[in-house]
Structure 1
Amino acid sequence: MLSQFLAGRPGAAQRAGVKALRENSVASNLSLDDLTKLLGSYGMSKAGVPVTEETAMRVSAVYACVDRIVGAIATLPLGIYERAGEARKPVEHDYHWMLNERANEDMSAADAWSQLVANKLFGGDGYAELLRPSMSSARVIGWKPHHWSRVTPFRDHKSKRKYFRVLPDTGGPAYVLDQADMVQLTSLGYDGLTSPSPITYAAREAIGTALAQQDFAGRFFSEGAVFDYALQTDQGMNGEQVKDLREQLLSRVSGSRAPLILAGGLKPAQLTINPKDAEILGTRLFSVEEICRIFGVPPYLVGHTEKNSSWGTGMESQGANFKRYTLLKHLVQIAQELNHKLWPTRQRYFVQHVTAELERGDFKSRMEGYRTALGRAGERPIMTTNEVRRAENLPPAPGGDSLEPLAAAGNATGDSKTNDGPTADDDTTNPGEQNAKPSAE
C-alpha cells in the first residue's frame, strides 16, 4: 500500500527518502528505520542527491578506495597452518583450494573474495554461505557470497540463536540458514544482527557533495562553460532587437562560440557566482580526502598527491602501513570468522593471510634482509637457505634446510679453506721446485 501511495504521487518517494522499493520482503513489528531499510530507502544527502551503492560507484574516489581494499584482500594468499604445541607449520589441507583457487563452480576465489568484501564496504555486512555435501555433514566443499540486500539476519526468540533468511539471486523461494553455515563480516556500528552501511551512514554527505559537484561541472561545461547572467539596459528595445538577441543567446547555448554582439546599451550582469570564486576545485579535493578518511585508504593510493604523504616514503614502509592501518582489521576479522566456522570444535588448524608481498621491498633491501636472516657474521640464523629461495620463487637447493650458520655449515662439510690467502698449514713450496731434479751436490 505504501509503495502504491508513493508511486502515485510525483516526488513522493524522493521526499520520503525512498530510492527504490524492494520486492518479495516479509517482516513484522518494524520500526520506522526498519521499514525504510526494508523498502530499500537510502538517505538523501543535504546536497539533494540520493546516495546509494550505485550512485556512490560514480564517484571516482569511492570506486578507487573500494577497489584498493578489495583488490588487495582478494589477491592475498590464505595459508592454512597446524598448531603443534607452541609451534605452527604450514600444511596441505583440502580447504586450500576453495579458499585460494575456486570458491564454487561459478566463481573463482578471487571473485568471491572481491564480492564479499565489497558487500561489506557498501552495505555494512558481507555474507557468504558455506556449502556442504549434505545437511548433516560438517565438511565444507565450497562457499558462495550473497549480496547484502538478499540476506536478513534474525534471532530465534527461544534459543537466541541467529539465523539468516536468504533470497536466491536466481529466483525461487527464500530459505533459512543456521549461523554455522553463514560467514558474516560486520562493520563499525554492528548491533548484533546487522551493521550500518558506511556509504549511507558516515560517507553520505561527502559522497552526496561529490555527486552534486560532478553534476554541476557536467552541466557547466555542457552549457558552454559560462555562468548565469542577465542583460540590462536603460533604453527600450523593440521586438526585432529582442528576437535577434534571443537567437544569439540560443546559438551560444547550443555550442556556438561566435561573439555576442550587444547593442542598445546592453550590459551583462552576473547572476551566479563563478566556479573559481565558489572554490569548486578545492571542494572536490576536500571530498577526496574525506572519502579516503572514511575508508581508511591513504590518498596517494587513489591518485591524490596534493600533499605530502605521512604513510612513509619507501615502497616497503607504505605497503606495511597500508596493511597495518587499513587491511589488518579486515584480515583479522576474516581469519577469525573462518577459523570458527570451518573448525568449530577443534583448534588444531587455523587460517591466516600471507601478507609478505605487501611489505616486499626492492631487490637490494630484500637481499640485505636475507643476509641478516641467514646469520650474518656468525649470528644464529632465523631462516634457512631454502626458505629464502622459496620466498623468491626459486627451487630448493641441496642441503639448504639447515638452520646452522653458514660458516658452521661450511666447516661441517670439511670446506674450511677460503680464498683469503695461504695459511701456516698450507704448503707454499713452488710446485716447480718440487718437481726439480736434485742438484749434483
Structure 2
Amino acid sequence: MPYGNEIAVTEATSMRSTAVMASVRVIAETVASLPKPVYQRLKPRGKRRVSHSIGDLIGKSPNPYMTAFTFWETLMSHIMLWGNFYAEIEYDSAGSITALWPIPPHRVEHRETADGDPYFRLTLKSGKQKDIPFYAMLHVPGLSFDGRKGLSVIGWARQAVEVAIATENFAAEFFKNGTNVGAVVTTPSTLSDGAFDRLSKSLHSSYSGLGKAHKLMLLEEGMTFSKNTIPPNDAQFLETRKFQTLEIARIFRVPPHMLGDLERATFSNIEQQGIDFVTHTIRPWLVRIEQTVNMRLFGQDEQKKLFTEFLVEGLLRGETKARYEAYNIARNGGWLSVNEIRELENLNPIEGGDEYLRPLNMAEVGKPSEGGDNNNDNGQGNKGATGPLDAGNQAGDPESGGGTD
C-alpha cells in the first residue's frame, strides 16, 4: 500500500469511509423502497397489474428469512461494491420458483463446461464447493467488459477510497491530540530535572483537557506561553476530506447534498438535483435489474405476457402544489383520467373515474368537428357553433335584433 499505516481497502473495508457508506446506503435504500408490481401485456397495447407468485417473491418475501426490502438492499450493496449480485433460485418439484437465496459475491466463481456452457461454483462457509447450473442462479452484473461478470467499483477506484480513509484516520489521530502540540512554554534559563517534573505535572493537572480551557495560567521565573495554531500543512487535510467526499460522490453518481455536503446546495437547485439522481443514477440500475429479473424469473412463454418494473413516480412527485397543477393540466388535456391520477396518489379508484376529457377546441387535423367546420376559409367564422350569441337570439335579446316586439 502507498501509505505507511498499511490501509487495506477491500469491498468490505471501504464502508469505513463515510462517503462510501452514505453513497451505498442512499442508492440501496432508494431502490429497495420502490414498488415492483407484475404486469400483463394487453393487446394491441397497454398493461394491467396481475397477481403472480414472482410478484410475491420480489415484492413481499423472497425467502422465509428475508423481507423484500432487505433482499433488494442486499442486491444493490453487492452490485455497488463487488459489481455483481448472486442469488440461488430454488425450485419445487413442479419446476416453479419458490425462493431466492442471496450469496456473497466473493464466494462465487464463473466457470464453463467443456462445451462452453456457463455455470457457477460456490464456496460454502465450511470450505466445500458446490456447482450451481446457470438456470438456477439469478446473476445481476454491473458494468462489465465481457457482458458476463461485472467489475468491482472499489477495485477500480481503490486509490480514491484509500485516500478518503487515510484522511479520516489522520483526522481521528489529529483530534486525539496524539502528536499535535497545542502550546509551548519557554523559559530563559535551564530548568533542573525536579523543576521540570513539577512544571509538567502542574501544567497537565491544572490546564490540560477541555474542561480546563480558558483558565488563567500563572507562570514564574520569566516563562512565556504561546499557543500554536493549525499549520497550513495540517489544515490542508480539511480541504482534502471535502474533495474526497466529492470524489466518492462522483464514483457512485450521487448528488453531494445526499452525502451531507450542502456547500453548493440551494433551495433552487436541490429539487433538480433530486430529479437528476432519479434519472441518471437510479434509473440505469432499475433497467439493469428489471431486464435480468424478467429474463431469468419468468419462463419463455411467460416473458411474452408478463413483466415487472419499478415504480419511480413517487420519487418525482415534488411539492404538493406543483404536483396538483401537473395533474390538472394532464386531466384537462385529456391524457390522464381521474382514476389514473388517484392511482399515482395511492388512492382507490372511483366509479366513472376512467373517462377521459376532450377539450372542445381540439380535434384531429383535417377532420371536421361534430358541430360543423369551425375553421372554414370564407371568413364566416364559427358558422355552425352555438354559444352565448345564439342563446341570446333565441331568448329574445333586444340588442341582437332577434327579439319580438
Question: Residue 14 of structure 1 corresponds to which residue in structure 2?
Answer: none
Q: TM-score, normalised by structure 1?
A: 0.71
Task: Name which of 212, 215, 222 aligns with 2:169.
Answer: 215
For 1:126, the aligned partner's letter is F
Task: Report the Cα offset of residue 104 of structure 1.
Answer: 0.9
Calculate the aligned-residue CA RMSD, in Å: 3.7
Partner of 1:384: 337
1:51: Cα distance to partner?
2.0
Deviation by residue 1:247-280 (Cα, 9 ceiling, x = unmatched): 3465466776567766667778999963685323
Describe how 1:302-341 pairs up with structure 2 within 5 A: 302-308=259-265, 313=269, 315=271, 317-341=272-296
Give 1:345's aligned residue: 300
TM-score, normalised via structure 2 length: 0.77
Do residues 360 (structure 1) and 317 (structure 2) align? yes
Matched position secondary structure for 2:119: strand
Q: How many residues align?
A: 367
In 1, the alpha carbon distance for the partners of 2:285 and 2:46 equals 23
Q: Name the residue aligned to 1:122.
A: 81
* 1:49 maps onto 2:3 in alignment: no
Cα 1:156–1:201, aligned 2, differ >3 Å: closer, same or farther? same
Identity of aligned residues (%): 29
Q: 1:233 to 1:213 in 2, by over 3 A?
A: same
CA shift, 1:190, in A, is 4.5
| Partner Cα distance (1:163, 1:360) in 2 | 43
**Structure 1 residues 127 and 253, CA gap change in structure 2 (3 angstroms):** farther
The counterpart of 2:156, out of the listed 193, 201, 219, is 201
Moved more, 45-54 or 75-84: 45-54
Alpha carbons of structure 1 residues 305 and 395: separation in structure 2 relative to 1, 3 Å: same
CA distance in 2, matches of 1:275, 1:243: 32
Q: Which amino acid counterpart does residue 180 of structure 1 have in structure 2?
A: Y
Distance 1:101 1:312 in 2: 38
Partner residue, 1:291: 248
Q: Which amino acid aligns with 1:167?
A: T
Distance 1:392 1:264, change over 3 A: same
- AA of the residue aligned to 1:278: A
Structure 2 residue identity aligned to 1:387: E
- Structure 1 residues not aligned, in runs of 5+: 1-16, 18-43, 409-419, 429-441
Q: C-alpha offsets along residues 178-230 of structure 1, whole Å, 9 cap, x if unaligned? A: 1222222223355555434322431x333323323333332333328953777
Match of 1:71 in 2: 29
Question: How many Å apart are 1:106 and its aligned residue?
Answer: 0.4
Q: Secondary structure at the match of 2:150?
A: coil
**232 and 313 in structure 1: CA distance in 2 versus 1, 3 angstrom threshold:** closer
* Candidates 1, 19, 22, aligned match of 1:61: 19
What is the letter of the counterpart of residue 95 of structure 1? I
CA distance in 2, matches of 1:285, 1:244: 43
Q: Mapping of 1:114-153 within 5 angstroms?
A: 114-134=73-93, 137=95, 139-149=96-106, 151-153=107-109
Question: How far apart are residue 108 of structure 1 and its match?
Answer: 0.6
TM-fit CA distance, 1:294: 0.7
Confirm or deny that 1:97 pairs with 2:50.
no
Q: Is the 8 A contact 1:374 1:406 kept in 2?
A: no
1:425 shift after superposition: 9.3
Q: 2:332 maps to which residue?
A: 375
Structure 2 equivalent of residue 394 of structure 1: 347
Secondary structure of 2:263's counterpart equals coil
